[in-house]
Structure 1
């Protein structure tokens, strides 16, 4: 199972390498990593995606919590959360297929951020599933380059798990 951890840590040199080292020593691969300033000065939020069972991740969370610079560890995997990534996608765009690509850009609410005679650079923001989907749809046109950020995530303030709503049939929402 994939887990998304949100870690608040003091913004000091070496903090990130200590966290990465902790996971490397235990043979964990960090699939995605994003770090940036948090809501308070001198504090950073690190969001990482890891694969592992629940027990192992609970143990890793406890060990993370013991690190000097770590202030808080939250496993967002089972909580209602908002997750987003950014992808820049350079796709081949000849005269014949450019209008088709531009139509798809609108469907995915992506942005064209660079144009040349041979290619378009698209900016796509969304949940990881959206990025994978547009990548697969653009593949037949010829993907030239891809750059993706790591996943960023926050616990939902509303507490509503929108993923759960997507899986329920709409007729279950109607009163009986």
Structure 2
């Protein structure tokens, strides 16, 4: 075999081996290499997954035509599905408003409460020790949720600094009462309201009619106001002598003064037919005092309204029985609306 023949064979074998090497270089990696690439991850894995698993659209939803109701059926359904009104009890709430001392604030506050249908039981407005700052104490009745909405609406007003709810706060409550009470007795109460005096027998009853002494005595008593001519002849009140009327007035005056002292009140004015009592206390004590003196006959009564001041806490490490009872009461009166939903 010649050298030329051997050279051609070697060249042909080299030419055949070159495409095989190129093909081996461009071919896909082996299975272990693919497994390692899949374990490591690459940026095209998500694209390969989407190509291998094409997305299938869900079938279309069935088309259902809503029923055509009449107006009567629609109204009946609305009424049936409407929730019942709240059965929460109406409780007494005390709001303390800190407002700017300027004209028109009271009308705006009362207008908001009137628009919500609240009946204000008590309203006290006064200036404070701070210049341009006034305090309003409002007492009303309503449900807790509605009162809270009204409180936030009041707080949104421009001249209102803050609105504090003292309903569940330990406070000092005081109310001033001025009452004018009759000391003539219940028999003459209606006559006193009609600006008539009691039917008192004149002291000259024993004198002869038409005599100069009788005329002079009647004129003297009439000028002194001790004789009040009666116009109503159908009155059932007994005719009293001046001495009997005087004793009855002092008895009633002593009884009214005793009741006033029991409630911490005092007599600020005494007249021949009535007495004015000044009393300060809680609303319940004021109501109780008025009930006790009502049999005497209340001619006039004026109440200032409720004023509230929160109690100052006592700093002490000793806890008494009263503190434990108060903590138990506060836990029982916990507002469930403050809990998170669910």
TM range (shorter): 0.7 to 0.9
Do the aligned partners of 1:114 and 1:122 also contact (CA within 8 Å) in 2? Answer: yes
Deviation digits for residues 128-174 of structure 1 (CA, Å, limit 9, x no counterpart):
0110000000001111110011111111113789xx9xxxxxxxxxx
- Give unpaired runs (5+ residues) of structure 1: 165-176
1:5 corresponds in structure 2 to 95
The size of the alignment, in residue pairs, is 162
Q: Aligned equivalents of 1:35 and 1:50: distance in 2?
A: 15
- Larger RCO of the pair (alpha carbons < 8 Å, separation 6+): 1
When the two structures are superposed, what TM-score results if normalisation uses the length of structure 1?
A: 0.88
Higher strand content, 1 or 2: 1
1:88 corresponds in structure 2 to 178
Deviation digits for residues 9-53 of structure 1 (CA, Å, limit 9, x no counterpart):
000100110000001111111110000012311000000101001
Matches within 5 A, 1:90-169: 90-93=180-183, 94-158=249-313
Q: After the TM superposition, which parts of structure 1 deviate over 3 Å for at least 4 consecutive aligned residues? A: none
2:142 corresponds in structure 1 to 52
When the two structures are superposed, what TM-score results if normalisation uses the length of structure 2?
A: 0.46
Do the aligned partners of 2:257 and 2:266 also contact (CA within 8 Å) in 1? Answer: no
Q: Which protein has the larger Cα radius of gyration, Structure 1 or Structure 2?
A: 2
- Superposed displacement of residue 118, structure 1: 1.1
Q: Aligned equivalents of 1:88 and 1:105: distance in 2?
A: 11
- Superposed displacement of residue 101, structure 1: 1.1
1:74 to 164, 173, 177: 164
Deviation digits for residues 28-86 of structure 1 (CA, Å, limit 9, x no counterpart):
11110000012311000000101001111111110011000110111111100111111
Higher helix content, 1 or 2: 2
Coordinate RMSD, CA, aligned: 1.6
1:167 corresponds in structure 2 to none
Q: Aligned equivalents of 2:271 and 2:144: distance in 1?
A: 47
Q: Aligned equivalents of 2:149 and 2:172: distance in 1?
A: 24
- Give unpaired runs (5+ residues) of structure 2: 1-90, 184-248, 315-325, 331-342
